[in-house]
Structure 1
Amino acid sequence: MRVLPLLLSSLLLSASIHAADKGPSEDQRVGEGLVLMLKGENQKAWNLLFPEAKAGNVTAMYHLGMMMMRATDTPDHLQRAKTFFEAAAKRGHKGSEAMLIQVEKTLAASTPGALPSIAGLSGLPVPQDMEAARRQAEAMKKQLGRFVEPLRDVAADVTIKAFVADSSDAVKNIRYLADQAQARFGERVETQFFVIVDQEAWDPRKVFNQQSSQLPTQGFQPDLGGRIASEFGVRSTPALVLIPKDGKPRVLNNPASLLADLTSILN
């Protein structure tokens, strides 16, 4: 009765010895290759991972693709990375599918003679980079908004050009009238503010002071020497010029008549 247990023990011992003779498993070899790659010993890592990739191991293919993405000293390193990712993606490896999309985008955007990567990285933005760029763009808008004409999808029926020379109380009145026009006529009107700058006598402290908040945060433009104002026949400030889309400009001698003039033009 003791023959069967002894036979089973012998078989298990024989299997263990046979497994030991075979050496490290496939996963162990891939893991060792990854460790070598992370340590920067790329040639040794290649020697371990490439045979596994040839044998169909998708994890080895993925790691070789990542290695090639960083091999910027190899001219066609991105194309080689694509080959590994593509082979693994065809076998259902999700990480390789994602990396294949990124590599293809980089290859499509690269120009002849230009390096498709920087410092060994793919050069593709990660979500954190995109969010940082968005925040920077918003901050830039706030800083430069006063000097940038806002973009519109559709041209206004009437453009109002408001010319001022300082931040006097008259500026408040013009801003109030412009807001009323915007509220009544919406996108049919557009207001642009100009500050006439006499380069010899202009004092920026008269404009950029506590009252300058009355000026809009966008659409503000400097008019050096009053060149733009003179094109419309403006002789004094503050002044309003109405420019219909299909008509001649009109200088308003009495800014208080702005709403009445706009109504006659738009109706």
Structure 2
Amino acid sequence: MKRNEIQHLAIALLLTSSMHALAAEEELTSQEKVGIGLMHALKNEKKEAWAYLLPEAKDGNVDAMFHLGQLLIKSPEYEGHLKKAAQFFEAAAKRGHKGAAAMLENVRRQLAVQEGGSVPTIGGKSALPTPEDRAAAERFYREYQQRNARFNSLDGDTEPKVVVNVFVSGELDFADQVASMEPVIKGRYPEAVGFKYFMVLDQRTWKPGKNSPPDKEPKNLIGFEPDWNGESAVKMGVRRTPSIVLTTTDGKKIAVTGPNLLNTELARIME
């Protein structure tokens, strides 16, 4: 066989092999491609992992979004890697990925520390509350609730169809306005509507008996559940306080712009 014939044959075999490889890759499912991307990520082969995971994430694969977030957390060489990781985790969390939701909270805490400077220290030790501090705070709030509150109207065996979640960080007038509407709403929708009141607290600055609960007492008997660092608020999509979010038994979260629209929104849901 002549040399040029051998060369043509080699090129033909190479092209055939490449076509088979491409066809085989096209036959892979989305999850199989995510699996290959994850293997590359575990080997710290970031470019290869990215090449497999990003197209699947763009097509809506929540596992690909989650693993891209994980990959970015471990990639400080990329500018803004934590913010980009948070974007992938948030996208996956909105589609129901519980692992991404948990990671999103962790990344947001890291970003908060970065934006606020280094973790505060006293004498070289962390100034953040210890588990003992947190336990003391929980005890303090339980005692406060027992003294001042009938807590949050979620008693009984029947799960309410809608829960009115009220988030404040000291705006007691706002919570009072909702609480004053509570008896009428419950009378209109017996056992169908429950109420929960959250006091959003910054774990870095809160100390039992010092700066919370507020010195001002609510006019109504309201029991507040402490929401440390706004963790519950973030899960419900709250970005500022005061806020109202309705949660339903089928998993919907509906933001209400103010107490004056609460009755209207409840009527729409109960139709």
Please classify the TM superposition score into its range, dividing by the shorter chain length: 0.3 to 0.5
Q: Highest CA radius of gyration, 1 or 2?
A: 1
Instruction: Give TM-score, length-normalised by structure 1.
Output: 0.41
Q: TM-score, normalised by structure 2?
A: 0.40
